[in-house]
C-alpha cells in the first residue's frame, strides 16, 4: 500500500472512530436525560408502564452485540485515557453526571451538576456520590502527576450537604509521594462559592508492581492488543 493510500485508510478509520465516539456521547446524553426524567417524573402510572415497555424495546438491539468483562470498548483508547463508559466522567455512561476534569498546573479542576437521580438526603447529594466524585478527582490528580495508582484508602469529611441541580466545582492535588504511595487531597464546593468547602477527601494511591498489573489487567490488555492488531 502506498503512503497516500495508507494515509487515506488511517484517515477513514479515524473518521469512523470519531463518528462512533460522537454517537456514544449522543446515546449517553439520551440515557442521562432518561435517568433524570425517570427519577423526577410524576407522570401517570399508565405512562410509566408504557415508557418501561418502549425502553425495553429500545434496549433490545443494543444487547445483540456486547463485549465481555475483559474486552475494552472498541471506541476507547485506554493508553490515551479515553474511557467513554467511566461511571464518573464517561460521555457514554448513563451513570456519570458526567464530571469534566482539566488541569491547571498541579491543580486538577472538575465541574458537574448533580441531578435528582443522585439524591440522598432530600434535595442534597448522596454521600457515596460525593466520595465517588472525589475518588475520581484524586485519581486524576495522581495520574496527572505521572504516578498513576489504585486507591487503597479514601477518607471523606462531610462538612455541609452538597446541593442538587447546582453547578459544582471540585479541585484536587497531590500532596505527597513516598515510594509507591501517592497521597492527594480534594474538595467539593458550589461553583458560585468556591471558597466554602462542602466535602473534603484525602486519598492514598498505590502504584502497581509489574506483576500486579499483569495479574489484574493482563487479560484486558492482551485482548486490547489483539483487537488493535486485527
Ligand atoms: C487519569 C486517570 C484517572 C483515573 C481515575 C481513577 C480513579 C478511581 C481509582 C479507583 O477507584 S481504583 C479502584 C479501587 N481500588 C482498588 O480496587 C484497589 C484494591 N487494592 C489492591 O488491589 C491492592 O491494595 C494493590 C494491588 C493496589 C496494592 O497491593 P500491595 O499488596 O502491593 O500493597 P501493599 O500492601 O504492599 O501496600 C503498598 C504500600 O501502600 C500502603 N498501603 C496499603 N494500603 C493502605 C491503606 N489502606 N492506607 C494507607 N497506606 C496503605 C502500604 O503500607 C505500602 O506502603 P509502603 O510501600 O510504604 O510499605
- Placement of cell 463508559 in the chain: 85
* Cβ partners under 8 Å of residue 180, min gap 6: 149, 206, 207, 209
Instruction: Report the pLDDT value the prediction gives residue 14, as an integer from 0 to 100.
Output: 87
Atom 12 in ligand 1: residue holding the nearest Cα: 150
ipTM of the predicted structure?
Answer: 0.92
Instruction: Report the pLDDT value the prediction gives residue 10, as an integer from 0 to 100.
Output: 52
Could you tell which of 108, 155, 186, 206 is best to mutate to test the pocket of ligand 1, judged by most ligand atoms within 8 Å of the CB? 206
Measured distance CA(52)–CA(58) in Å, rounded? 10
Instruction: Report the pLDDT value the prediction gives residue 3, as an integer from 0 to 100.
Output: 47
DSSP state of 57: H
Residue spans of the chain under pLDDT 50: 1-4, 6-7
Instruction: Report the pLDDT value the prediction gives residue 21, as an integer from 0 to 100.
Output: 97
Q: What is the number of residues in the chain?
A: 230
What is the model's pTM?
0.92
Could you tell which of 144, 152, 177 is best to mutate to test the pocket of ligand 1, judged by most ligand atoms within 8 Å of the CB? 152
Ligand 1 centre distance from Cα of residue 227 (Å): 29
Residue (of 141, 90, 79, 88) closest to 114 by Cα position:
88
Instruction: Report the pLDDT value the prediction gives residue 2, as an integer from 0 to 100.
Output: 47
Backbone φ, ψ for residue 83 (5° rounding): -130, 90
Full set of structural domains in the chain with CATH: 97-218 (3.10.129.10)
Amino acid at each position: 500500500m502506498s503512503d497516500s493510500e495508507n494515509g487515506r485508510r488511517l484517515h477513514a478509520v479515524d473518521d469512523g472512530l470519531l463518528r462512533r465516539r460522537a454517537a456514544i456521547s449522543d446515546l449517553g446524553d439520551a440515557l442521562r436525560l432518561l435517568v433524570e426524567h425517570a427519577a423526577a417524573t410524576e407522570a401517570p402510572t399508565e405512562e410509566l408502564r408504557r415508557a418501561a415497555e418502549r425502553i425495553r424495546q429500545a434496549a433490545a438491539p443494543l444487547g445483540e452485540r456486547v463485549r465481555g468483562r475483559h474486552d475494552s470498548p472498541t471506541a476507547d483508547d485506554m493508553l490515551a485515557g479515553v474511557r467513554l463508559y467511566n461511571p464518573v466522567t464517561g460521555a457514554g455512561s448513563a451513570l456519570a453526571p458526567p464530571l469534566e476534569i482539566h488541569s491547571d498546573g498541579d491543580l486538577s479542576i472538575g465541574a458537574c451538576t448533580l441531578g435528582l437521580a443522585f439524591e440522598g438526603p432530600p434535595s442534597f447529594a448522596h454521600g457515596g456520590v460525593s466520595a465517588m466524585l472525589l475518588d475520581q478527582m484524586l485519581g486524576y490528580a495522581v495520574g496527572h502527576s505521572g504516578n498513576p495508582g489504585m486507591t487503597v484508602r479514601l477518607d471523606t469529611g462531610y462538612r455541609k450537604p452538597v446541593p442538587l441541580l447546582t453547578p459544582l466545582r471540585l479541585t484536587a492535588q497531590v500532596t505527597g509521594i513516598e515510594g509507591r504511595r501517592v497521597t492527594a487531597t480534594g474538595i467539593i464546593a458550589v461553583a458560585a462559592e468556591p471558597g466554602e468547602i462542602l466535602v473534603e477527601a484525602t486519598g492514598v494511591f498505590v502504584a502497581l508492581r509489574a506483576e500486579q498489573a499483569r495479574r489484574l489487567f493482563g487479560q484486558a490488555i492482551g485482548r486490547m492488543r489483539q483487537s488493535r492488531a486485527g
